[in-house]
Amino acid sequence: MDNGAVSTLLLGGSEAVRTLVNGIVPAGSMREYPFDLNILVELPADLQPACIICENPPADISSIELAQMFRANYPNAVIYFVTEDRKEFDRKTFKKNGFTDAFLMPVDRGELSISLRRALVRITESRTFRAVKLIDLSEDTVLDFQTYVHLPLNNKHICFSNAGRPMTAERLNRLRKKEVGSMLVDEAEMSKFYNYTATRLRQIGASEQISATEKREKMESAVRDLMGGLFNEASKGNSLEKGRGLVTDCQQIVRSYIVEGGGGKNDWYDKILALGSQEEGTYGHLSNVATFASLFSMGLGIGDPEHLAMAGLLHDVGLIQVPEEIQLKELNQMTPEELAAFQRHPRASVDVIKNWRMNIPEIVTKAIMQHHERFDGSGYPEKLSGGEICPEAQILGIADEFDELVTGKGGVKMTPSAAMRCIISQDKEKISYGRFDPSILLALGKIIPCESEAA
């Protein structure tokens, strides 16, 4: 890109979006414009920005017309609509009418940031590659994206498999024998990788050609592959970014598993995210718990991964009825009244969901109601124990506890590996309270490689 070239146009920039864009777009290559049609129609055709970010225009200007005007002038640009208005937000309609994509703030903040980075990568022509684990590869696997490997000797990326062609036996062997490093995918094609992974997970789960044992082994190994990098202590010093990238990848895979896998009928995932997320922090927690619970469900063969994702997104919606000052306290700092109010939140979540009149399977409601119950009877609200607690609630509880430990909600932030070790070994010093079902923890220990002590 030439010096001084404009990569991004921002219309009606709110402080939050301006800050986000400034953190991504190279200095000096973003231009801001007000919603003034006299100015906008006069923008030069040779501007050719890579990206146009359009926030909510005033009532007398139609966002759709803006999108179509920009589309006509700048056919190669990606045009994003960004709004905080959740009532009017319908991603599909925006996309149908000229926008490349639409984002609801603040819940889609992370996704907007990733999409913007990708849009900019395309114009700088400096490709970014991501190391991925491709699950369940075989000789007849045909990927719709190209894969690469890195040759460290001359620091080059070479093509490993071509889009649309089967993987050859020779290449697969080299991969299995670890003669080549990680498989890499062009950052711009990551959505195809998510779709491939989600589709394979669906296919393995639904396959009638393989035995139950084989199915279980394949799912265990797929989840181990997908989540393994998170638990690799060696990558710890490498950067937190690496971990974040992997969590985002897992989220996108689970989202794709549900949204695309449901034959287009499962739009509840995005709807619930928009409904249930009051702020960014909550969004991260709900989305992480949904992702981990769904992957644990796949890997352990317990419950339906879709149910676990739904329960993950909804499990804490009842917290809106608990004052924030109580939520910020540790359980042992709360007065008895505060503790009682806080411990009502699983039931409150179920009540909130009923008010939404959403069609929620009974097992999802049950898992939400029981997500703080513990195997030894030390949980709440009903102090259930052992087999009184459904396995789905156990998985949800483990995912919830895991996310709290890695995000440091309980005070100390742990690496994913250390957090999982605490949960599996039931380290009473570190985890908040109570125990999980030992047989589930044992099975989890088999798919999560976190036995080694942190260096």
| Site residues for Fe ion per CB under 5 A | 316
The C-alpha atoms of residue 41 and residue 48 are separated, in whole angstroms, by: 14
Give helix then strand counts, H and E, for the chain: 19, 9
Nearer to Fe ion, 253 or 319 (CB): 319
Q: Other C-beta atoms within 10 Å of 84: how many?
A: 14
Residues ≥6 apart with Cβ < 8 Å to 170:
none
CB of 299 to Fe ion, least distance (A): 22
Residue 409, classified by CB atoms within 10 Å of its CB into exposed (0-12), middle (13-18) or buried (19+), is middle
Min dist CB 45 to Fe ion, Å, is 54
Residue 277 C-beta: closest distance to Fe ion, Å: 15
Residue 57, preceding bond cis, omega within 30 degrees?
A: no
CB of 371 to Fe ion, least distance (A): 6
Beta carbon nearer to Fe ion, 160 or 356 = 356
Gap between the Cα atoms of 399 and 230, Å rounded? 14
Instruction: Name the residue nearer to Fe ion (CB basis): 116 or 369.
Output: 369
**Is 316 or 437 the residue whose CB approaches Fe ion more closely?**
316
Please say which residue, 108 or 316, places its beta carbon nearer to Fe ion: 316
CB of residue 377 to Fe ion, shortest distance in Å: 18
CB 386 within 8 A of CB 367: no
CB of 372 to Fe ion, least distance (A): 6
Query: What are the helix (H) ranges across 125-211?
Result: 169-176, 190-206
Which helix (DSSP H) or strand (DSSP E) does residue 255 occupy?
A: helix 240-259
Instruction: Write out the two tokens for 121.
Output: 């990568």
**Which residue, 175 or 396, has its beta carbon nearer to Fe ion?**
396
Question: 351: Cβ–Cβ under 8 A, 6 or more apart, which residues?
Answer: 318
Contact 338, 326 (CB under 8 A): yes
Residue with the CB atom nearest Fe ion in the bound state? 316
Minimum separation from the CB atom of position 407 to Fe ion (A): 14
* Interatomic CA distance for residues 139 and 137, integer angstroms: 7
Nearer to Fe ion, 316 or 403 (CB): 316
> Residue 454 is encoded by which pair of tokens?
């942190």
